[in-house]
Structures are given as C-alpha cells and as structure tokens.
Structure 1
Amino acid sequence: MAQSKKISVMLSSRCNDRFPAGSDQTLSSIRAQLKREIEGTTLFGKQLFEVWINEDAPPADGMQDSWDACLQAVRDCDVLLVLSNGNAGWASGDGDIGICHAEYMEGLATTRGKVRFIAMPNIPVGDSREAEAARNQRFQAFIAQQTPFRGGMVSTVEQLRDRVQEALLDAVVVLTQRGVTAAASSRFDMGQALDWTRMDFRQRKRAMETVLLQALTGGEAPVGDAYAIVPMADVNIAVFVHAIPAAFTVAAARELVGKPFLRDHEHAHLLQGAHGPLHLIACHRGATEHQATALLGFADATVVSGPFGVFVADDVQKVQFAFLANCRDASQTRHALQRFREWLDQTGEAQRLAKRAVSRARIVSVIAAELEGR
C-alpha cells in the first residue's frame, strides 16, 4: 500500500468512450472532474484524498511499461473505484485481456476489500472488431462471475458522480473499521484474548462455540445446543459449531472436535425442517488448507482459503465445513464469521452451499434410516 498521509484513490475506466453514449463527454474528462472534486474534499481544512488517473500520472521509470504502471497503481492505492461500461480496454495481442479487465482482476486478487465496482450500461459487444468483441465478452463474463454489490446501474454523469461519492464514503468507513479490528487483533496478551488464554481447553472451547452461536442467532446461545438453523440463499441450513481451543497441531485440542461430519446421521431428526449440516469450526490459532484436507481425509475437494480461514466442500458426499481462523476472543470470532458470510454472498458460493446442503440432508437421512433398520 502507498505510504502517504492522504488516502490514495484510483479511478479505473476506459478513457475515450463517451458517457452517456452519444454525448460529447468522454470518461477521461469525467474522471478528471471527479479527481478535482474528490481532492477538493477536506477534513478539518486538510486535504484528505489524492486521486490517481492515468491521464496525469507522472512518467514511470524505464523498467515499467504502461501496463505495469497501471497495475502497480492498483496495488498501491488504498481505494480502487472501477467505473465499468463493459469495455475491456486496450491489449497487446488479440488473445489477451484488456487493461480495464486486468486492473479490476488485480484489485480483487491483491486486496478485494478496497475495490468498489460502479456499473454503467455495457457497450454493445457486436459493434467492435472480432478480437475486441471477444475481449469485451471475456471481461463482461468475468464481471458477472464476481457478483459484487454495485447498487444499481448509473446512466447519467450526475448519477455516476453520486455513486462515486457513495462508494468512496463506504470504503473509508468500512476499511477504517476493519483496520481497527486488524490492529486490535495483533495483541493477544491483554483483554478478553488473555482471559480466554487463561481458560483450560474445554472452557475455551465452550466460550468459542457460545460466541459463534450468539452471532448466528443474533441473540443468546441456546443452552445445551451446539447448532443453529440459519437461512442461507433461501434455504434453512443446520449449522453445527465446534471449536479447536489451541493450535491445530495440538492433538489434545484437535481431538475435541475430531471429524464431526462422520456423526451427521445422529442429527437426522433435526433435518425435518432444515438441510445440511454445515460445520463451522472456530480455530483458536491459524488454519491451513493442508489441515483442512487432513480433517476431511482426502484432498480431492473444493478447498478455498480466504480472510476468514478455510472452506471445504466435498461434491461427492456433500460434506461442508469451514475453519474460522484466529478466534482469540469474542470480537475476532464474530469477525471471522462475518467475513465468511460476506465471502459466501460476494462470490455466489451461498447458492452452491445451499444446494449441497439439500443433497447432504438426503444422504444423511438415508444413512440414519439404514442404521435404524439394522
């Protein structure tokens, strides 16, 4: 990230495309106006933002070409505002992705949380030559896969200006709050984190599970219960909570959880009005993909690392669980769960999770019926 006393904002868009279509204004001129307005915003009389647009960026050193300079600006900025009309931008070769596509992809790959996507009407793909049309189709398909919350399409310059202001305000508030949480998480030798460390394994395990249940239900954790019925993608999911109260490498802590999905058939009676189960495993320390696949028992599954921890889904047995990493205190535990649910919604994985949960419920019911009939 850029080391500056101001918040660095990058405006990414096409340059010469006109907006609205057929008007006399280009996106380049609109970006210049937005830059002046944003940089003119002050806090206590001091300039708060500095805005990077490629039109007035200083020359890069001889080791960088234009492509490298733009992607470096994406990595350096604190907030990336993507103003997209579906045009992928220029590219070196006919089979390459465009620069607008690359900037958006680089922002998502490096720091997804700083990216704000603002949608304008897509340009007609068929109006371009074949290579450009294919490049734009790839970009528009990529956008559709990301499913970012964008607040509706803008069709006028005034709407675009309002949406940029809203997106920038949201980014400043959200990233500030996340920064506070991250700063707090770096000290585990005081406060509630220290209180939890003083507990024995079973006490800490119960504390971690109670916080997860409270966060899932929005209230008090049900006494004696280790699950909650949670709606996800319009499907009621039975979510079971567990906790590994020390590092995963500590066998005594790990064995308190075991492989909980092997006992799913014991909870078949809970699946009359719900589906699943989904297992959430709060980890007092970190979590890795290797540890997740070791718990599952094999590596041929969907395994995704994210800011929340690790998510695992087996598309054969429909087993699903998530490691929520660094649950050192109540705040960190709630935050890990929040990040997991945000990831489900942002990526569209919630729909896939719900579909697998429906299948898992049928599998569990059959296993339970077979065992009862022995």
Structure 2
Amino acid sequence: MTHDLWPPLSVIRSALETGSAVPDGAPGIAAVAMPGAPPDPAPAAPASDLLLPLTELARRREAVAQRAFPARWAPGRLVSVVHQGRMLGVLLDRCIQGERWQGWMAAGEADWAGAFDVLLEPDDEPFEPAFGVIQAWNVLGLEPGPQLCARVVGEISATRLAAIRAVHDEWAAHAALPIAPEPGRIALRGVGGVFSVLSGTPLGPEDPRTDYQELYRDVGLQLGKALTQPQGDEASSSPAPAPARPQPGPEGGWWGSIRRWFGAEGWARPAFAVLALVVVVQNVGLLGGRGAGPEEDEVRFRAVPAAPVPARADLVVRWKAGVRMDEADRLLQSISADVVGGPGSNGNVWRLRVPEPVDALAVLAASPLVESAGPARPAGEQRP
C-alpha cells in the first residue's frame, strides 16, 4: 500500500541534512528544519487557497511573540535551538545535572506521527507551529549556551507534560498498543489510564515512518553529541555530563507513576499536587477508570467517515479583500454561524449554516467586511 505522507521524506531529509552554519553577527538566522514546500517548483496555488492558512500561521506566530515567554528554562517549556544552521525544537522535561536538561525533540510533520508522538492541541497555544509534534521516543540532553541561540517559543501545562511523560514511559517499556498500523492517521487515545493524547498509530512492517524516525533520531544524537563535547582545555578537566536516558520505572505502581508524571520529585508544590489529583480523578472518570472491563479499549480512536456527507449551508458570503480572521470570526459569532465550506476557488467565499437565515443575511449585507452575501444553492447546482 502506498502512503502519501506530507511533506515527502526526501524533503524532510534535505532540510535536516543540509544547511550551512549560522553567519557571524546574525545568530537569529537559520533554516527551520520543518519543510513547508518541496524543492522542485510546483504549480502555484490560487491566492484564495493560501490566504487562510498563511493568515492562521501569522496569527499563531504573532501570538507567540505577544506572549513574550521568559528566557529561563523550566519543565514544559518549548525551546528553539540552532544547530549547524538549522533551527530545531526541543520540549524540556527536567534538569538532570547542574544546568544540563533532558527533553524530547519537537517537529512539525504531523502526517508522520507514530503512537509515541504527541501532537499539541489548541489548548496548548501559543506555541511555535513548526514544533507542534513532540517525539516522546526521541530523548536528548542539552544545556543553555550562546551557541544554541535558544529561545522559548511555547509552554505547555503541567497536565500535558505529565501526559507526554506517560507516553514516553510507554515507549521505554516497549508497550504493545492494540492499534493497527496506519501511516497518516491521527486520533485521540488514552494513556496511563488517566490522560487523553492526540497521536498517530504504531509502526508496521515496511512502514515509511521507520526511516523518518531514524532520520530524526540521528539529528537528536548529533545535537546531543555536539553539546557534550568539551572545548579546548576543558576536554581533559571537565567531567562527562550525564547522558539523556529513559527514566526507570517508578516504584509504587500506578500511583507512583502518577506522582512522577506530575513531577513529585520536587518540581510540584503541595497545592499543585492537590490540583493534579483532581485532574487525575476527573480524567479517570471520563476515560472509564482502570479495570473497566476487558471489553473497554485502552485506545479510543475517533473514526473518520470514509465518504462524509456535505453539510447543509444556508448562506454564501464573499469577504472583501484584506479582511482579517478575527474580524470575520466576530461577525460570524454575532449571527451564530457555522462555517461548512470555503474558501471557494474563485475567491474568498464561505458557505455558512445559521439558525435564522433571514436575520443573518441582513446582518451580513450591512457589514462593511462583506462584499456580497446571499442564499446558498444546493451542492452541485450551477448558477444560471
């Protein structure tokens, strides 16, 4: 079976294996190791098809800039680092020795995610979109230094960090998940009997994601090796830093795992421990609890219909050029509209479903953001 995963592996390999050193005096210039387009020229997409994705990308990166994360490293913070002219992402897990930290590589190729990759979700925003896939199987060690040009570009909650630690423990224990391999499929699943994470499926035989993981594993090893080699006279006098490694299984069974996932080794304060317990109890209730019966799947994938039926639309609206996403969203919220299609190939046209079509049409027609609005025709019906 052929799996068309995006971007192609050749593009990812080219982005990771090529790239020159960052020029002197320009520490912020680097090629992001998250390809967004193939190297060969491709047919240009209509401007209307690119408007919303590019606007959304700009909005998310502006949100990161506005958030102005502190530069100090801490568990759960997402940092960008520069290595050999490439910008890489790392999610910090914990400090393991002195200023040395352990974390996981972060990437952006959601199509290539496996069962031990965790995709960040809207609740985790703001974060750098190019580093939204946390590779819980790809552990590395690093420490702050000027050569990294490190910046904090996101920060996840303690609960999300605990969930990623739980996924990492599954990987370290070689857990066999009752999920069929299906490259390119992303869905929610339970982990640790407590959390719900968005991830891919396990790797299968002749799985293209095997080469993808080897590629990123090599990048992580190169990054860790480069950061642990002492410079000059320090080579003979400096002790070898502690390597990044999977954490040993905790004592105390399931509750011992919960305590470690939530950082009870010293990071969590007593008040936070109470909050963590509340979150655990709530999630256990939502997921059905441990020992809910053999018929209760540990993995809960959301099924995607093979041939979805087009949603009914009441109105069609064409936005004026230059309308921002937040402006359009406020207007649509005022009429309780659901977007069921768009933009169209001939312009920035959206199809809407509304509870009161007549009133909604009057509001849209009077808005300075709207170029035109009218009743929607049934799918497939041509204009006269």
Range into which the TM-score falls when normalised by the shorter chain: under 0.3
- TM-score relative to the length of structure 2: 0.18
- TM-score relative to the length of structure 1: 0.18
Flag the structure with higher helix content: 1
